[in-house]
Chain A
Protein backbone atom coordinates (compact mmCIF):
# COMPACT_ATOMS: atom_id res chain seq x y z
CA UNK A 1 0.00 0.00 0.00
CA UNK A 2 2.73 2.41 1.04
CA UNK A 3 4.83 1.40 -1.97
CA UNK A 4 1.91 2.03 -4.29
CA UNK A 5 1.31 5.42 -2.74
CA UNK A 6 5.01 6.23 -3.10
CA UNK A 7 4.88 5.30 -6.78
CA UNK A 8 1.89 7.51 -7.37
CA UNK A 9 3.56 10.38 -5.51
CA UNK A 10 6.70 9.90 -7.58
CA UNK A 11 4.69 10.08 -10.81
CA UNK A 12 2.97 13.28 -9.67
CA UNK A 13 6.28 14.89 -8.64
CA UNK A 14 7.93 14.02 -11.96
CA UNK A 15 4.96 15.39 -13.90
CA UNK A 16 4.86 18.57 -11.82
CA UNK A 17 8.61 19.19 -12.13
CA UNK A 18 8.44 18.73 -15.89
CA UNK A 19 5.33 20.88 -16.31
CA UNK A 20 6.72 23.80 -14.33
CA UNK A 21 10.18 23.84 -15.87
CA UNK A 22 9.49 22.52 -19.41
CA UNK A 23 12.89 20.99 -18.78
CA UNK A 24 15.24 20.25 -21.63
CA UNK A 25 17.81 17.56 -21.13
CA UNK A 26 21.11 17.40 -22.98
CA UNK A 27 22.71 13.97 -22.90
CA UNK A 28 26.41 13.12 -23.27
CA UNK A 29 27.51 11.79 -26.67
CA UNK A 30 28.18 8.29 -25.36
CA UNK A 31 24.95 8.10 -23.38
CA UNK A 32 24.70 7.51 -19.65
CA UNK A 33 26.65 4.68 -18.01
CA UNK A 34 24.58 1.51 -17.58
CA UNK A 35 26.37 0.55 -14.35
CA UNK A 36 25.81 2.29 -11.02
CA UNK A 37 27.39 5.73 -11.14
CA UNK A 38 27.51 9.00 -9.27
CA UNK A 39 25.71 11.99 -10.75
CA UNK A 40 27.23 15.11 -9.24
CA UNK A 41 25.54 18.45 -9.79
CA UNK A 42 25.61 22.12 -8.90
CA UNK A 43 23.28 23.03 -6.07
CA UNK A 44 21.30 26.25 -5.95
CA UNK A 45 17.70 25.26 -5.34
CA UNK A 46 15.64 22.95 -3.20
CA UNK A 47 14.33 21.27 -6.32
CA UNK A 48 17.72 20.32 -7.73
CA UNK A 49 17.72 16.60 -7.06
CA UNK A 50 14.05 16.34 -7.99
CA UNK A 51 14.80 17.73 -11.43
CA UNK A 52 17.83 15.50 -12.04
CA UNK A 53 15.80 12.55 -10.83
CA UNK A 54 12.83 13.53 -13.02
CA UNK A 55 14.78 13.75 -16.27
CA UNK A 56 16.55 10.41 -15.88
CA UNK A 57 15.14 7.64 -18.07
CA UNK A 58 12.64 5.66 -15.90
CA UNK A 59 14.76 2.53 -15.96
CA UNK A 60 17.76 4.37 -14.54
CA UNK A 61 15.63 6.53 -12.25
CA UNK A 62 14.30 3.46 -10.44
CA UNK A 63 17.73 2.65 -9.11
CA UNK A 64 19.02 6.16 -8.57
CA UNK A 65 19.08 7.49 -5.00
CA UNK A 66 19.64 11.12 -4.09
CA UNK A 67 21.96 11.79 -1.19
CA UNK A 68 20.32 14.21 1.23
CA UNK A 69 20.56 15.59 4.74
CA UNK A 70 18.81 13.39 7.29
CA UNK A 71 17.98 16.32 9.59
CA UNK A 72 15.73 17.86 6.98
CA UNK A 73 14.03 14.78 5.62
CA UNK A 74 13.32 13.06 8.93
CA UNK A 75 11.61 16.15 10.37
CA UNK A 76 8.00 15.17 9.78
CA UNK A 77 6.00 12.16 8.62
CA UNK A 78 5.41 13.73 5.23
CA UNK A 79 9.06 14.59 4.52
CA UNK A 80 10.06 11.19 5.85
CA UNK A 81 7.63 9.52 3.42
CA UNK A 82 8.86 11.63 0.49
CA UNK A 83 12.54 11.27 1.39
CA UNK A 84 12.61 7.59 2.25
CA UNK A 85 9.74 6.03 0.29
CA UNK A 86 9.35 8.20 -2.81
CA UNK A 87 12.96 9.10 -3.53
CA UNK A 88 14.55 6.31 -1.52
CA UNK A 89 17.18 8.87 -0.55
CA UNK A 90 20.43 7.94 1.13
CA UNK A 91 19.96 10.04 4.26
CA UNK A 92 23.17 11.15 5.86
CA UNK A 93 23.67 13.07 9.09
CA UNK A 94 25.20 16.47 8.34
CA UNK A 95 26.53 17.18 11.81
CA UNK A 96 29.33 15.04 13.04
CA UNK A 97 28.04 14.81 16.63
CA UNK A 98 24.72 13.21 15.61
CA UNK A 99 26.26 10.59 13.38
CA UNK A 100 25.47 6.95 13.95
CA UNK A 101 26.56 5.88 10.45
CA UNK A 102 29.55 7.00 8.45
CA UNK A 103 28.18 8.84 5.37
CA UNK A 104 30.92 7.54 3.08
CA UNK A 105 30.11 4.02 4.20
CA UNK A 106 26.37 4.59 3.58
CA UNK A 107 26.97 5.83 0.06
CA UNK A 108 29.45 3.07 -0.75
CA UNK A 109 26.94 0.46 0.39
CA UNK A 110 24.25 1.96 -1.84
CA UNK A 111 26.60 1.73 -4.82
CA UNK A 112 27.52 -1.86 -3.92
CA UNK A 113 23.83 -2.70 -3.82
CA UNK A 114 23.51 -1.55 -7.44
CA UNK A 115 22.19 2.01 -6.97
CA UNK A 116 23.38 5.19 -8.60
CA UNK A 117 23.66 8.33 -6.49
CA UNK A 118 22.77 11.98 -7.00
CA UNK A 119 25.28 14.06 -5.09
CA UNK A 120 25.85 17.76 -4.53
CA UNK A 121 29.54 18.12 -3.71
CA UNK A 122 29.16 21.79 -2.80
CA UNK A 123 27.47 20.45 0.32
CA UNK A 124 25.01 23.30 0.58
CA UNK A 125 22.93 25.47 -1.69
CA UNK A 126 24.89 28.11 -3.52
CA UNK A 127 23.46 31.55 -2.69
CA UNK A 128 26.46 33.48 -3.95
CA UNK A 129 27.20 35.09 -7.30
CA UNK A 130 29.97 32.56 -7.91
CA UNK A 131 28.87 29.81 -10.31
CA UNK A 132 30.12 27.08 -7.99
CA UNK A 133 31.17 26.78 -4.35
CA UNK A 134 34.34 24.80 -3.52
CA UNK A 135 33.63 21.07 -3.41
CA UNK A 136 33.59 19.24 -0.10
CA UNK A 137 35.94 16.29 0.07
CA UNK A 138 33.29 13.58 0.62
CA UNK A 139 33.06 12.73 -3.07
CA UNK A 140 36.83 12.09 -3.12
CA UNK A 141 36.75 9.79 -0.12
CA UNK A 142 33.83 7.94 -1.68
CA UNK A 143 35.53 7.24 -5.01
CA UNK A 144 38.77 6.42 -3.20
CA UNK A 145 36.95 3.38 -1.84
CA UNK A 146 35.14 2.64 -5.14
CA UNK A 147 37.62 3.83 -7.79
CA UNK A 148 35.93 2.13 -10.74
CA UNK A 149 32.68 4.07 -10.31
CA UNK A 150 31.80 6.49 -13.10
CA UNK A 151 31.26 10.12 -12.12
CA UNK A 152 28.79 12.00 -14.30
CA UNK A 153 28.79 15.81 -14.05
CA UNK A 154 25.31 17.35 -14.27
CA UNK A 155 24.71 21.08 -14.71
CA UNK A 156 21.30 22.35 -13.65
CA UNK A 157 20.51 25.70 -15.22
CA UNK A 158 17.87 28.24 -14.16
CA UNK A 159 16.19 26.26 -11.38
CA UNK A 160 17.40 28.81 -8.83
CA UNK A 161 15.27 31.38 -10.64
CA UNK A 162 12.24 29.06 -10.63
CA UNK A 163 12.41 28.48 -6.90
CA UNK A 164 14.82 30.76 -5.02
CA UNK A 165 15.47 29.99 -1.38
CA UNK A 166 12.57 31.01 0.84
CA UNK A 167 9.96 31.37 -1.93
CA UNK A 168 6.90 29.16 -2.04
CA UNK A 169 5.43 29.86 -5.48
CA UNK A 170 7.53 28.52 -8.37
CA UNK A 171 7.97 30.73 -11.46
CA UNK A 172 7.57 28.53 -14.53
CA UNK A 173 10.81 29.17 -16.40
CA UNK A 174 12.58 26.84 -18.78
CA UNK A 175 15.32 24.81 -17.14
CA UNK A 176 18.10 22.86 -18.78
CA UNK A 177 19.82 19.83 -17.32
CA UNK A 178 23.09 19.00 -19.05
CA UNK A 179 24.78 15.65 -18.47
CA UNK A 180 28.51 15.43 -19.20
CA UNK A 181 30.70 12.49 -20.18
CA UNK A 182 31.56 10.07 -17.35
CA UNK A 183 34.84 10.60 -15.49
CA UNK A 184 36.83 8.48 -13.06
CA UNK A 185 39.36 9.10 -10.36
CA UNK A 186 42.91 8.57 -11.69
CA UNK A 187 45.19 6.15 -9.85
CA UNK A 188 47.30 8.08 -7.32
CA UNK A 189 45.34 11.25 -7.95
CA UNK A 190 45.49 13.58 -4.97
CA UNK A 191 42.37 14.98 -3.34
CA UNK A 192 42.87 18.58 -4.41
CA UNK A 193 43.74 17.71 -7.99
CA UNK A 194 40.72 15.44 -8.23
CA UNK A 195 38.29 17.98 -6.76
CA UNK A 196 39.68 20.68 -9.04
CA UNK A 197 39.24 18.44 -12.07
CA UNK A 198 35.63 17.61 -11.12
CA UNK A 199 34.77 21.29 -10.61
CA UNK A 200 36.24 22.18 -13.98
CA UNK A 201 34.30 19.36 -15.67
CA UNK A 202 31.06 20.54 -14.09
CA UNK A 203 31.64 24.21 -14.89
CA UNK A 204 32.39 23.29 -18.50
CA UNK A 205 28.73 22.27 -18.86
CA UNK A 206 27.35 25.60 -17.70
CA UNK A 207 25.98 27.78 -20.48
CA UNK A 208 26.53 31.49 -20.79
CA UNK A 209 23.96 32.92 -18.39
CA UNK A 210 20.77 33.65 -20.30
CA UNK A 211 19.61 36.74 -18.49
CA UNK A 212 22.56 38.41 -16.91
CA UNK A 213 20.44 38.40 -13.75
CA UNK A 214 20.80 36.03 -10.85
Chain B
Protein backbone atom coordinates (compact mmCIF):
# COMPACT_ATOMS: atom_id res chain seq x y z
CA UNK B 1 0.00 0.00 0.00
CA UNK B 2 1.34 3.40 -0.98
CA UNK B 3 1.83 5.98 1.76
CA UNK B 4 -0.97 8.09 0.25
CA UNK B 5 -3.43 5.21 0.48
CA UNK B 6 -2.46 4.26 4.01
CA UNK B 7 -2.79 7.88 5.13
CA UNK B 8 -6.20 8.08 3.47
CA UNK B 9 -7.24 4.83 5.12
CA UNK B 10 -6.17 6.12 8.52
CA UNK B 11 -8.03 9.37 7.93
CA UNK B 12 -11.19 7.56 6.86
CA UNK B 13 -10.99 5.30 9.91
CA UNK B 14 -10.68 8.39 12.10
CA UNK B 15 -13.65 10.13 10.46
CA UNK B 16 -15.80 7.02 10.74
CA UNK B 17 -14.81 6.77 14.39
CA UNK B 18 -15.95 10.36 15.01
CA UNK B 19 -19.22 9.77 13.15
CA UNK B 20 -19.92 6.51 14.97
CA UNK B 21 -19.28 8.28 18.27
CA UNK B 22 -21.59 11.15 17.23
CA UNK B 23 -24.29 8.70 16.16
CA UNK B 24 -24.12 6.87 19.51
CA UNK B 25 -24.34 10.16 21.43
CA UNK B 26 -27.25 11.27 19.22
CA UNK B 27 -29.04 7.98 19.78
CA UNK B 28 -28.52 8.14 23.54
CA UNK B 29 -29.81 11.73 23.68
CA UNK B 30 -32.85 10.71 21.65
CA UNK B 31 -33.61 7.76 23.96
CA UNK B 32 -33.18 9.90 27.04
CA UNK B 33 -34.76 13.25 26.12
CA UNK B 34 -36.78 12.81 22.96
CA UNK B 35 -38.17 9.26 22.63
CA UNK B 36 -41.24 10.57 20.78
CA UNK B 37 -39.32 12.95 18.55
CA UNK B 38 -40.58 15.98 20.45
CA UNK B 39 -37.27 17.74 21.11
CA UNK B 40 -36.54 19.79 18.00
CA UNK B 41 -32.84 20.38 18.64
CA UNK B 42 -32.14 16.67 19.22
CA UNK B 43 -34.10 15.74 16.11
CA UNK B 44 -32.12 18.33 14.16
CA UNK B 45 -28.85 17.03 15.62
CA UNK B 46 -29.66 13.49 14.50
CA UNK B 47 -30.78 14.66 11.05
CA UNK B 48 -27.45 16.46 10.77
CA UNK B 49 -25.45 13.42 11.83
CA UNK B 50 -27.27 11.30 9.27
CA UNK B 51 -26.58 13.88 6.58
CA UNK B 52 -22.91 13.88 7.63
CA UNK B 53 -22.76 10.14 7.01
CA UNK B 54 -24.15 10.63 3.52
CA UNK B 55 -21.75 13.49 2.78
CA UNK B 56 -18.71 11.58 4.07
CA UNK B 57 -19.64 8.51 2.04
CA UNK B 58 -20.16 10.63 -1.10
CA UNK B 59 -16.82 12.40 -0.71
CA UNK B 60 -15.18 9.07 0.07
CA UNK B 61 -16.59 7.51 -3.10
CA UNK B 62 -15.39 10.50 -5.13
CA UNK B 63 -11.89 10.06 -3.68
CA UNK B 64 -11.92 6.38 -4.59
CA UNK B 65 -13.02 7.23 -8.13
CA UNK B 66 -10.02 9.56 -8.38
CA UNK B 67 -9.67 12.89 -10.15
CA UNK B 68 -12.76 12.46 -12.30
CA UNK B 69 -14.86 11.50 -9.27
CA UNK B 70 -13.81 14.59 -7.34
CA UNK B 71 -14.44 16.86 -10.34
CA UNK B 72 -17.88 15.41 -10.99
CA UNK B 73 -18.83 15.71 -7.31
CA UNK B 74 -17.81 19.37 -7.09
CA UNK B 75 -19.30 20.19 -10.48
CA UNK B 76 -22.58 18.87 -9.14
CA UNK B 77 -22.14 20.92 -5.94
CA UNK B 78 -21.53 24.05 -8.02
CA UNK B 79 -24.58 23.34 -10.13
CA UNK B 80 -26.83 22.75 -7.12
CA UNK B 81 -25.42 25.76 -5.25
CA UNK B 82 -25.89 27.98 -8.29
CA UNK B 83 -29.47 26.79 -8.49
CA UNK B 84 -30.06 27.76 -4.87
CA UNK B 85 -28.39 31.13 -5.36
CA UNK B 86 -30.14 32.11 -8.59
CA UNK B 87 -33.49 31.04 -7.13
CA UNK B 88 -33.13 33.89 -4.63
CA UNK B 89 -31.87 36.70 -6.87
CA UNK B 90 -33.45 39.33 -9.09
CA UNK B 91 -33.71 38.06 -12.61
CA UNK B 92 -36.03 38.98 -15.43
CA UNK B 93 -37.17 37.33 -18.63
CA UNK B 94 -34.37 39.11 -20.48
CA UNK B 95 -31.76 37.20 -18.45
CA UNK B 96 -32.99 33.83 -19.64
CA UNK B 97 -30.13 33.09 -22.03
CA UNK B 98 -27.51 34.51 -19.71
CA UNK B 99 -28.77 32.20 -16.96
CA UNK B 100 -28.94 29.22 -19.29
CA UNK B 101 -25.32 29.96 -20.23
CA UNK B 102 -24.34 30.16 -16.56
CA UNK B 103 -25.73 26.70 -15.83
CA UNK B 104 -24.99 24.85 -19.04
CA UNK B 105 -21.80 26.53 -20.28
CA UNK B 106 -19.94 28.24 -17.45
CA UNK B 107 -20.19 25.34 -14.96
CA UNK B 108 -19.04 22.60 -17.37
CA UNK B 109 -16.31 24.77 -18.90
CA UNK B 110 -14.89 25.76 -15.50
CA UNK B 111 -14.64 22.10 -14.48
CA UNK B 112 -13.35 21.02 -17.87
CA UNK B 113 -10.52 23.54 -17.47
CA UNK B 114 -9.61 21.84 -14.19
CA UNK B 115 -9.65 18.47 -15.91
CA UNK B 116 -7.34 19.87 -18.59
CA UNK B 117 -5.22 21.56 -15.87
CA UNK B 118 -5.35 24.85 -17.75
CA UNK B 119 -4.63 27.07 -14.76
CA UNK B 120 -4.10 30.25 -16.82
CA UNK B 121 -7.59 30.30 -18.23
CA UNK B 122 -9.22 28.54 -15.24
CA UNK B 123 -8.28 31.43 -12.96
CA UNK B 124 -9.73 34.15 -15.18
CA UNK B 125 -12.53 32.42 -17.05
CA UNK B 126 -15.28 33.56 -14.65
CA UNK B 127 -13.85 36.85 -13.33
CA UNK B 128 -12.95 38.09 -16.81
CA UNK B 129 -14.78 36.23 -19.56
CA UNK B 130 -18.07 35.42 -17.82
CA UNK B 131 -18.01 38.86 -16.19
CA UNK B 132 -17.97 40.58 -19.57
CA UNK B 133 -19.99 38.13 -21.65
CA UNK B 134 -22.98 37.61 -19.33
CA UNK B 135 -24.16 41.24 -19.41
CA UNK B 136 -23.66 41.25 -23.17
CA UNK B 137 -26.05 38.31 -23.50
CA UNK B 138 -28.56 40.01 -21.21
CA UNK B 139 -28.36 43.42 -22.82
CA UNK B 140 -29.29 42.05 -26.23
CA UNK B 141 -32.90 41.77 -25.08
CA UNK B 142 -32.96 45.49 -24.34
CA UNK B 143 -34.50 45.27 -20.87
CA UNK B 144 -32.77 47.95 -18.77
CA UNK B 145 -34.84 47.67 -15.63
CA UNK B 146 -32.55 47.12 -12.61
CA UNK B 147 -29.88 46.10 -15.11
CA UNK B 148 -26.86 46.65 -12.88
CA UNK B 149 -28.48 44.79 -9.99
CA UNK B 150 -29.38 41.86 -12.21
CA UNK B 151 -25.98 41.36 -13.81
CA UNK B 152 -24.13 41.98 -10.55
CA UNK B 153 -26.18 39.33 -8.78
CA UNK B 154 -25.67 36.72 -11.47
CA UNK B 155 -21.95 37.47 -11.46
CA UNK B 156 -21.81 37.09 -7.70
CA UNK B 157 -23.67 33.80 -7.95
CA UNK B 158 -21.07 32.55 -10.43
CA UNK B 159 -18.14 33.77 -8.36
CA UNK B 160 -19.36 32.13 -5.17
CA UNK B 161 -20.93 28.93 -6.44
CA UNK B 162 -18.66 28.10 -9.35
CA UNK B 163 -15.40 30.04 -9.20
CA UNK B 164 -14.79 29.77 -5.46
CA UNK B 165 -16.19 26.26 -5.07
CA UNK B 166 -14.07 24.97 -7.96
CA UNK B 167 -10.94 25.90 -6.00
CA UNK B 168 -11.49 22.86 -3.81
CA UNK B 169 -10.93 20.31 -6.62
CA UNK B 170 -8.33 22.73 -8.07
CA UNK B 171 -6.06 21.54 -5.25
CA UNK B 172 -5.65 18.36 -7.31
CA UNK B 173 -3.83 20.30 -10.04
CA UNK B 174 -1.01 21.53 -7.79
CA UNK B 175 2.42 19.99 -8.23
CA UNK B 176 4.11 19.92 -4.87
CA UNK B 177 7.57 18.32 -4.76
CA UNK B 178 7.59 15.28 -2.50
CA UNK B 179 3.80 15.24 -2.29
CA UNK B 180 3.02 13.55 -5.61
CA UNK B 181 -0.16 11.50 -5.79
CA UNK B 182 -1.40 12.75 -2.43
CA UNK B 183 -3.20 15.97 -3.40
CA UNK B 184 -6.55 14.48 -2.55
CA UNK B 185 -5.44 14.69 1.09
CA UNK B 186 -5.19 18.48 0.74
CA UNK B 187 -8.90 18.52 -0.08
CA UNK B 188 -9.54 16.34 2.94
CA UNK B 189 -7.50 18.73 5.11
CA UNK B 190 -9.43 21.79 3.89
CA UNK B 191 -12.86 20.21 4.19
CA UNK B 192 -12.20 18.62 7.58
CA UNK B 193 -10.80 21.81 9.12
CA UNK B 194 -13.61 24.02 7.76
CA UNK B 195 -16.41 21.68 8.73
CA UNK B 196 -15.00 20.82 12.14
CA UNK B 197 -14.51 24.51 12.80
CA UNK B 198 -18.21 25.10 12.04
CA UNK B 199 -19.25 22.24 14.29
CA UNK B 200 -16.85 23.25 17.08
CA UNK B 201 -17.95 26.90 16.98
CA UNK B 202 -21.48 25.63 17.37
CA UNK B 203 -20.56 23.30 20.25
CA UNK B 204 -18.46 25.90 22.11
CA UNK B 205 -21.19 28.46 21.54
CA UNK B 206 -23.85 26.12 22.96
CA UNK B 207 -21.75 25.39 26.03
CA UNK B 208 -20.21 28.76 26.87
CA UNK B 209 -21.74 31.25 24.47
CA UNK B 210 -22.80 34.51 26.14
CA UNK B 211 -21.78 37.42 23.94
CA UNK B 212 -23.28 37.56 20.47
CA UNK B 213 -20.97 38.70 17.71
CA UNK B 214 -23.53 39.81 15.15
CA UNK B 215 -27.01 39.54 16.61
CA UNK B 216 -28.54 41.04 13.48
CA UNK B 217 -26.95 38.43 11.23
CA UNK B 218 -26.79 35.22 13.14
CA UNK B 219 -28.19 34.77 16.65
CA UNK B 220 -26.15 31.61 17.23
CA UNK B 221 -22.69 33.06 16.59
CA UNK B 222 -21.01 34.09 19.83
CA UNK B 223 -17.57 35.40 20.78
CA UNK B 224 -17.00 32.38 23.02
CA UNK B 225 -18.04 29.98 20.27
CA UNK B 226 -15.86 31.79 17.76
CA UNK B 227 -12.74 31.84 19.93
CA UNK B 228 -13.19 28.25 21.13
CA UNK B 229 -13.99 27.02 17.64
CA UNK B 230 -11.05 28.80 15.99
CA UNK B 231 -8.54 27.61 18.60
CA UNK B 232 -9.71 24.00 18.60
CA UNK B 233 -9.98 23.81 14.80
CA UNK B 234 -6.49 25.31 14.49
CA UNK B 235 -5.13 22.69 16.89
CA UNK B 236 -6.87 19.89 15.00
CA UNK B 237 -5.50 21.28 11.73
CA UNK B 238 -2.05 21.33 13.21
CA UNK B 239 -2.50 17.73 14.41
CA UNK B 240 -3.37 16.74 10.84
CA UNK B 241 0.01 17.93 9.48
CA UNK B 242 0.92 14.35 8.54
CA UNK B 243 -1.59 14.30 5.69
CA UNK B 244 -0.25 17.60 4.29
CA UNK B 245 3.05 18.85 2.84
CA UNK B 246 3.25 21.31 5.78
CA UNK B 247 5.07 21.27 9.11
CA UNK B 248 2.77 21.12 12.16
CA UNK B 249 3.24 24.88 12.66
CA UNK B 250 2.43 25.67 9.03
CA UNK B 251 -0.57 23.33 9.11
CA UNK B 252 -1.86 25.14 12.20
CA UNK B 253 -1.34 28.54 10.59
CA UNK B 254 -3.19 27.48 7.44
CA UNK B 255 -5.97 25.95 9.52
CA UNK B 256 -6.22 29.28 11.37
CA UNK B 257 -6.59 31.20 8.08
CA UNK B 258 -9.09 28.66 6.73
CA UNK B 259 -11.13 28.90 9.90
CA UNK B 260 -11.22 32.70 9.87
CA UNK B 261 -12.21 32.82 6.22
CA UNK B 262 -14.85 30.19 6.87
CA UNK B 263 -16.28 32.15 9.77
CA UNK B 264 -16.55 35.38 7.80
CA UNK B 265 -17.86 33.49 4.78
CA UNK B 266 -20.66 32.20 6.95
CA UNK B 267 -21.42 35.75 8.09
CA UNK B 268 -21.48 37.16 4.56
CA UNK B 269 -23.74 34.39 3.33
CA UNK B 270 -26.05 34.94 6.33
CA UNK B 271 -26.28 38.62 5.43
CA UNK B 272 -27.42 37.65 1.94
CA UNK B 273 -30.03 35.29 3.37
CA UNK B 274 -31.29 38.02 5.70
CA UNK B 275 -31.52 40.42 2.80
CA UNK B 276 -33.57 37.89 0.83
CA UNK B 277 -35.76 37.08 3.81
CA UNK B 278 -34.99 33.37 4.00
CA UNK B 279 -33.65 31.18 6.77
CA UNK B 280 -31.91 28.60 4.60
CA UNK B 281 -30.60 28.62 1.08
CA UNK B 282 -32.57 25.53 0.15
CA UNK B 283 -33.76 22.15 1.38
CA UNK B 284 -31.36 19.73 -0.19
CA UNK B 285 -29.79 18.31 2.97
CA UNK B 286 -32.06 17.40 5.82
CA UNK B 287 -31.10 19.21 9.01
CA UNK B 288 -28.63 21.49 7.24
CA UNK B 289 -30.93 23.39 4.89
CA UNK B 290 -29.50 23.95 1.45
CA UNK B 291 -26.19 22.99 -0.04
CA UNK B 292 -24.85 26.54 0.29
CA UNK B 293 -25.66 26.46 4.01
CA UNK B 294 -23.10 23.68 4.26
CA UNK B 295 -20.66 25.09 1.69
CA UNK B 296 -20.62 28.76 2.69
CA UNK B 297 -17.49 28.57 4.81
CA UNK B 298 -15.76 26.23 2.33
CA UNK B 299 -16.25 28.57 -0.63
CA UNK B 300 -14.68 31.49 1.19
CA UNK B 301 -11.67 29.58 2.44
CA UNK B 302 -10.95 27.43 -0.64
CA UNK B 303 -9.54 30.09 -3.03
CA UNK B 304 -7.33 31.62 -0.32
CA UNK B 305 -6.05 28.23 0.83
CA UNK B 306 -5.44 27.24 -2.79
CA UNK B 307 -3.45 30.36 -3.57
CA UNK B 308 -1.32 30.23 -0.45
CA UNK B 309 -0.40 26.62 -1.14
CA UNK B 310 0.18 27.36 -4.81
CA UNK B 311 2.34 30.39 -4.08
CA UNK B 312 4.61 28.87 -1.46
CA UNK B 313 4.56 25.12 -2.01
CA UNK B 314 3.71 24.38 -5.61
CA UNK B 315 6.11 24.36 -8.54
Contact = CB atoms under 8 A, between A and B. Distances in A.
A128 interface: no
Interface in A142-172: 158, 161, 164, 167, 169, 171-172
Interface in B71-93: 79-80, 83-84, 86-93
A213 B91 contact: yes
Contact of B88 (A24, A167, A172, A210): A210
B83 A174 contact: yes
Contact of B96 (A24, A158, A167, A211): A167
B104 interface: yes
Interface stretch (B188-196, B277-285, B298-306): B277-285
Interface in B241-290: 276-278, 282-284
B99 interface: yes
Q: How large is the interface on A (under 10, 10 to 19, 20 to 34, 35 or more residues)?
A: 10 to 19
Contacts of B88: 210-211
Contact of A211 (B83, B91, B100): B91
A214 interface: yes
B103 A171 contact: yes
A211 B275 CA distance: 10
Q: Is the interface of B mostly helix, strand, loop or mixed?
A: helix
A22 interface: yes
B242 to A, nearest CB: 39
Nearest to B103: A172
A208 interface: yes
Nearest to A165: B93
B82 to A, nearest CB: 8
Interface residues of B, number: 26
A173 interface: yes
- The main secondary structure of chain A at its interface with chain B is loop
Nearest to B281: A174
B83 A22 contact: yes
A212 interface: yes
A213 B92 CA distance: 6
B96 A208 contact: no
A132 to B, nearest CB: 19
Nearest to B88: A210
Interface in A169-214: 169, 171-174, 208, 210-214
Nearest to B102: A171
A22 B93 contact: no
Contacts of A172: 79, 83, 103
A214 B99 CA distance: 14
A122 B90 CA distance: 26
Given A169-B104, A213-B90, A174 B96 contact: no
Interface of B: 79-80, 83-84, 86-93, 96-97, 99-100, 103-104, 146, 150, 276-278, 282-284
Given A171-B86, A171-B96, A172-B83, 20 more contacts: A22-B83, A22-B282, A24-B283, A169-B96, A169-B100, A169-B104, A173-B83, A173-B86, A174-B87, A208-B277, A210-B87, A211-B87, A211-B88, A211-B90, A211-B91, A211-B276, A213-B91, A213-B146, A214-B92, A214-B93
23 contacts: A22-B80, A22-B282, A161-B91, A164-B93, A164-B96, A171-B86, A171-B99, A171-B103, A172-B83, A173-B83, A174-B83, A174-B87, A210-B87, A210-B88, A210-B276, A210-B278, A211-B87, A211-B276, A212-B90, A213-B90, A213-B146, A214-B92, A214-B93
